Amino acid sequence: MTELAFWLFYGLSAALYGVYAWKKRDTSLQALAELAVVLCLPVAGVVLLSLARCLRRFVPSEASVLTEAVPEDVNFGLGDRDYNANMVPLNDVYLLGDARMKRRFFTDSIKQDVVSNQSILRRAIQDEDREIAYYAVSFLTAKMEALGEEIHSLEEQLQTAPAEDHALMDRYAVCLKEFLTNRYGDGATRARQEQAYIRVLDVLAQKMPGRSIYYEEEIKALLAEHRIDEAAQVCRRFYRHHEQDERPILMEIRIHQARRDPQALQACIRRLKALPQALTPEALAVLRYWDEEASHE
């Protein structure tokens, strides 16, 4: 009688734990593994696994301790992230054969607003899974509308803001760049925003000539519009304020590349090599690729 009661209790506890493990599973493999432990270790398996789940729930893991110790406003680069086996790059999700898992990865990421790669979103729009495509379209549309509203709000603020409010103009330029980089809106809207972007960069470069980023972005935007002569004028102003810097020379090299002028480009290469300070990796890469003297040695 005692033995029968034991096996009844064992069968009931195993069945109950199996249902619980299946509902709370992280993966199907985990649930099957726990069920195998319960079946191989009568009663003791249920007790051990129950204790393990309690410890996981109430004792903070190393990852959670690290997360709590870091302030929420700290942004990490890729080099600061520890390896996490549970993290799956969204670009690799297309390799998954499990359609349900792929849908979960995409929809969870989009719902949490953690997708910043526009190429992945545009690829998701064309996905055969309607739910993935729906969330991707909704996310892109909402992001474009929010950015458009912010640009409009900044334009209204700039009309009444003092001319010295450089931070407001900088924020306006950042929003315009994001709008153009992500190719939001139609062609006419992008053309209008491109002109506004070039104008605000020109104003910022004149008001803060010590900041090279405004010159560089304006030159790149002008070259994208095939306005090479205007880009050359901006580059000359850039060089006047940063004579010992490599950045104006690198921008001038881009201009000569657009003009297809190899002699002027090689003259810039010689000026770049004559700079007294150590060159950055970007400048060294330009020298390795474009320096004719180095290629003949």
Tokens of 69: 């110790």
Instruction: Tell me the C-alpha distance between 230 and 96, whole Å.
Output: 49
Instruction: Tell me the C-alpha distance between 222 and 140, whole Å.
Output: 27
> Can you list the domains of the chain with their CATH numbers?
1-70 (no CATH), 149-296 (1.25.40.10)
Confidence class of residue 291 from pLDDT cuts 50, 70 and 90? confident
Q: What is the pLDDT of residue 111?
A: 61
- pLDDT of 235-263, one tens digit each? 999 999 998 899 999 999 999 999 999 99
Cβ(193)–Cβ(175) under 8 Å?
Answer: no
Cβ(257)–Cβ(219) under 8 Å?
Answer: no
Does the pLDDT at position 43 exceed 90? no
Count Cβ neighbours within 10 Å for each residue of 140-172 and write b for 16 or more, e otherwise.
Answer: beebeeebbebbeebeeeeeeeeeeeeeebbbb
- pLDDT of 59-74, one tens digit each? 544 444 333 443 444 3
Cβ(174)–Cβ(197) under 8 Å?
Answer: no
- pLDDT of 151-199, one tens digit each? 999 999 999 888 888 899 999 999 999 999 888 888 899 999 999 999 9
